[in-house]
Amino acid sequence: MTHRVLFMISSMRGGGSERQTLMLLKHLDRSLFTPHLYVMERAGDLMAQVPKDVSIHSFEDVRQEPMVYLPGGVMRQQVRHLAKLLSDESIDVIYDRTFHMTMIAGPASQRRKVPRVSTIVSPPELALPLVEKRFVRMKQQRLAKAYYQSHQVLAVSQIAADSAKNFYGLPSDAVDVVPNPVDCGALQQTGAGPPKKNSDAMLTLVCVGRMTHEKGHHDLISAVSLAQTNWSESQPPMHIRFVGDGPLRHELEVQAKNIQPPHSVAFLGSLSDVVPSITSADALVLPSHFEGMPNVVLEAMALKIPVIATRAGGTVELEREEPTILWAEPGNAESLAAAIRSFAADPVSALARVRSATRLISERHDVAKTSRIIERYLLDACR
């Protein structure tokens, strides 16, 4: 008999947690588990990729607008809906990921006595105020209670785990680290064939991410402006591609007007498949102020594309004994400019870092290995 496991995520719009959830749904051992997916709304390009044998449940199917608005009314609806679903579908264990899903899963699972495995994807003292914005202290308390009640709390990086222990007051041994995996086979199949570089006469850098303050796009544009003032005439001009969208896009487009020819910037918007944009670049740039465990860096490493990144959060854990990333300091445009100039001037070192990154991905971030680890936590919760 298989165990019925409910994976919880807000939508399938294509963020890091959504892609991680999709990978687990694809790789979960069907001889042990029958997977279900719970979303707030049936939205996102990744929805079409959910395996056909996964039952999808959505809060939007039953949502009712309250006659009188009261704070927390929608969340109470969500908790009631989830609690009923747990009973109706005879769910044995929940895998909740991201703050909002954990706040819903906590009280609902307590009502039905269903165990949970919860995953923390970002350092909460930095991420929670950005994600939730209102009633942050109250939500911090709710999340602390929910994590205390989880059968097991996981974090995608040691930095996220340490942050969670301090922020929520969790015991020192309460959080295990399971780094985000990457599906190397699927990525390499998607990006099969030689990378389609624009031209040897152009240095193409790609930045992938939602355009919000913490992702550091402003810093990258400032860094390019600084780098162009001391750019060697013997090196090809820079072409920066931004993949993604968000509230800061217009500001960034205005700022990018400071980039002077022959250097250039392009805003590509949100793309359902970012792999071609990564494989056609000379390097991926991650200018973030903080990260839990950046999926886009894992994907670039799996695709054997050099990475320039800030020492932000769990990103630093993607380098072990061997150099894998060309580093800059978070929030420091001058440091990022220096890293870009260094990359352009020394392509041989970049190739050595790519080889090291490939080994790191294979040894520590393989999706099959990670899926088996998470399955053990789920099975233990079911006992």
Query: What is the sign, positive or negative, of the torsion defined by CA atoms of 216, 177, 126, 331?
Result: negative
The closest of 181, 174, 53, 59 to 117, measured between CA atoms, is 174
Please, is 70 exposed, middle or buried when counting C-beta atoms within 10 Å of its C-beta (0-12, 13-18, 19+)? exposed
pLDDT truncated to tens, each residue of the chain (383 aa)? Answer: 899 999 999 999 888 899 999 999 999 999 999 999 999 999 988 999 999 999 999 999 887 766 556 666 788 999 999 999 999 999 999 999 999 999 999 999 999 999 999 999 999 999 998 877 778 999 999 999 999 999 999 999 999 999 999 999 999 899 999 999 999 988 877 765 545 555 568 999 999 999 999 999 999 999 999 999 989 888 999 999 999 999 999 999 999 999 999 999 999 999 888 999 999 999 999 999 999 999 999 999 999 999 999 999 999 999 999 999 999 999 999 999 999 999 999 989 999 999 999 999 999 999 999 999 999 999 999 99
The residues near 199 (Cβ < 8 Å, ≥ 6 apart) are 236
Strand partners, 310: 328
Q: Which domains does the chain have, with CATH numbers?
A: 3-181+366-382 (3.40.50.2000), 185-364 (3.40.50.2000)
The closest of 112, 22, 67, 118 to 367, measured between CA atoms, is 22
Name the phi and psi angles at 35, rounded to 5: -85, 140
Residue by residue, DSSP assigns 90-118 as: T--EEEEESHHHHHHHHHHHHHHT--EEE
Helix ranges restricted to H, 201-291: 217-229, 249-255, 275-279
Give CA–CA dist 310/184, Å, rounded: 23
Give CA–CA dist 128/133, Å, rounded: 7
Query: What is the sign, positive or negative, of the torsion defined by CA atoms of 158, 16, 208, 210?
Result: negative
Give the CB-side neighbour count of residue 11, counting CA atoms within 13 A: 9
So what's the pLDDT on residue 201?
83
Instruction: Report helix, strand or coil for 274.
Output: coil
Residue type, 362: S
The answer to whether the CB of 305 falls within 8 A of the CB of 328 is no
Give CA–CA dist 148/304, Å, rounded: 40
Give CA–CA dist 383/76, Å, rounded: 29
Give CA–CA dist 53/4, Å, rounded: 12
Q: Are strands 93-97 and 152-155 parallel, antiparallel or unpaired?
A: unpaired
Say what the pTM is. 0.92
